[in-house]
Amino acid sequence: MSPSPQTTIAAATAPRRPAARWWPLARVIGLAALALVGLGTLAASGQTPTDPAPAVASLPGPRPQVTLASAVQHPARSRPVRRAPHQPAGRHRSTHAPHQGSPAHRGRTGVARKLAANAPTVCPGASALEGAGATTLSAEGARYGISGLWAAGETGRGVTIATVEFGASSPSDVAAYDRCFGLPATGYQVVPIDGGGASGSAFVAEADLDIEQLQTQAPGATIVSYEAPDTNTSWTDVLSAIVSADQAKVISISWGLCEAAYAGGPSGTVAPIDALLAKAAAQGQSVVVASGDRGAQDCYDSANGTGAGTLAVDFPASDPNVTAVGGTDVSPAGEQVWNAALQAGASGASGGGVSADFAEPSWQQAVAGTLAGSCGASGCRGIPDLSLDANGLIFFGGGSLATGSGTSFSAPFVAAMTADLQSACATPIGNLAPRLYAWDQIDPGAFVPVTSGSNDYTGASGATYSASAGYNLATGLGTPVASALSCPQVHALSPTTAPAGATVTITGAFLGSASVTFGQRAASIVSRGANQLVATVPPGSGTVAVTVSNPTGAAASKPFAYAP
């Protein structure tokens, strides 16, 4: 099995847009050795990359799905240049501050353009792509409330994000992105595994866009790119390195393959990867994975038409130890399931459906109900867990400024958002997915439902997985409202000493859905707001910590002393 990113990339210099090409499924199903396939349809720099020789003769080399487009072409679906941020229901109403970047970078023409609020200063090439309907990564962040986290100091500072790559990132590409958008130099680190990643242009582009998305949404985080080649041990080697080091609290993965392509299924090549992901979760590491780019038919092979009517999902996105992220498409008509089958000359759709390998976790069943499949009466794991914009995004990769589409953009976005959240949490978030489902039960305003479209990519499954107001197998819980998911912050108590039965005012941030304990005793809430809540002191004695909690994590204030 061979890695293939979940991205459609359009190069600024490409003259035309050839059809996407996929590896024949027959070449990967039943292989005894493990290789890799990445998620997405990449639009690269004008030519299909040459595949490196596989480590094992029977293994296909990594071949991302590549779609090329000229910078002057309009995307197939009309997109607004500026998009209003979500307005979540209830108390979690986000405020979006303009991006604070360094002075404008001047391109070769000496022209610097300042865009409207919520957008950074961009170079002329990116401005042209925006004018044609594409979206900057910064504007994508503003849409989902990332700047609301930054305003509270949650920038990922102190958090390390590891990104799994099977291509070699290009420091010059990332530096060009930074210059274009007036951002500080990334200074990301590279850890080569087994000699490093592949150098084909599409694979380089995948690694570049992951890093650029991470740095854009989590500017305070430390980014480490673990880059491995395409060999039969790549998955386990790169994940072993990250999990054994246990330095990265967030792991971003934009690669995978349909479950049926892993030899032996759960008891075969899936097992060692699953074991590493379980260990990561147990260590408090948050793993975020792209859900795939072939919609509900993840095993579909467009080259020979096989799998067109077979429902399948992507692994490792289907693993219950990770958070699976799907894609949406934003148009003037609103946000809908990303499905390029609806667009002439385009390819890719949000991966989603029911696993054939993993039972449905109780935390998912509590929200989604029993998801019927081949896993027994308890149901099967469903993906994605959440989704966000994955169509027509601007980045720099493969040596040029480009636009791309795919869940390869969605996964690092959520990974970066998790790092931002983690920077304010007193304890490790760990597996984010169970916390997201708990949030959905407590505060519906944490997610905005996607109610239009389906991920029936081939048209052969009768739009089985359609969007809806509740959890669905096309977009999961919906799109996130970042500020609603933040760990609470506690700044002060007033008073700091009082008897049981008195009221204490707690001031801080993101307190709207929080619970409070004094020591081990729960306190009743008298009133609450986003930045302040009033609690009744429960029975107790001595000095205790007042802890404010929500499903994402907890924050402890200064000590509280019971009055005699």
3-state helix/strand/coil string of 213-251: HHHHHCCCCEEEEEECCCCCCHHHHHHHHHHHHCCCCEE
pLDDT digits (tens, 9 = 90+) for 102-131: 222 222 222 122 222 344 678 999 999 999
Mean pLDDT score, 123-142: 94
Local structure of residue 22 (DSSP, 8 states): -
Diameter of the chain by CA atoms?
A: 79
pLDDT digits (tens, 9 = 90+) for 66-100: 232 333 233 333 333 323 333 323 322 222 222 22
Look at 442 and 44; give whichever has higher pLDDT: 442
Mapped onto helix, strand or coil, the DSSP state of residue 259 is helix
Band the pLDDT of 393: cuts 50, 70, 90: very high
Band the pLDDT of 186: cuts 50, 70, 90: confident
pLDDT digits (tens, 9 = 90+) for 61-71: 333 332 323 33
Closest residue by Cα to residue 319 from 265, 396, 388, 398: 265
Question: What tokens does 542 get?
Answer: 């001595």
Local structure of residue 439 (DSSP, 8 states): H
Mapped onto helix, strand or coil, the DSSP state of residue 498 is strand
- pLDDT of res. 200: 80
Q: Name the E strands within 365-473.
A: 380-383, 386-389, 393-397, 400-405, 447-448
- The sign of the dihedral angle between the CA atoms of 69, 74, 76, 78 is positive
CA–CA–CA angle 132, 291, 224 (5° rounding): 85
- pLDDT of res. 556: 85
Mean pLDDT score, 448-455: 95
Mean pLDDT score, 279-306: 93
Give the CATH class of 8-485.
alpha beta
Band the pLDDT of 199: cuts 50, 70, 90: confident
Whether the per-residue pLDDT at 344 is higher than 90: the answer is no
- pLDDT of res. 10: 45
pLDDT digits (tens, 9 = 90+) for 453-469: 999 998 887 778 999 99
- pLDDT of res. 345: 57
Domains 8-485 and 489-562 share a fold: no
**Mean predicted lDDT score pLDDT of the chain:** 80
Q: State how far the Cα of 505 lies from the Cα of 415, in Å rounded to an integer.
A: 34
> In the CATH scheme, what is the code of domain 489-562?
2.60.40.10
Burial of 274 (0-12, 13-18, 19+ CB in 10 A): buried
- pLDDT of res. 343: 62
> Of all residues in the chain, what percent carry a pLDDT higher than 70?
78
Band the pLDDT of 7: cuts 50, 70, 90: low
Q: Say which residue the tokens 């996929």 belong to.
A: 22
Question: Which H helix or E strand runs over 442?
Answer: helix 432-442
Mean pLDDT score, 158-170: 96
Sequence ranges of the domains in the chain: 8-485, 489-562
- In whole angstroms, what separates CA 252 from the centre of its chain? 7
Look at 54 and 405; give whichever has higher pLDDT: 405
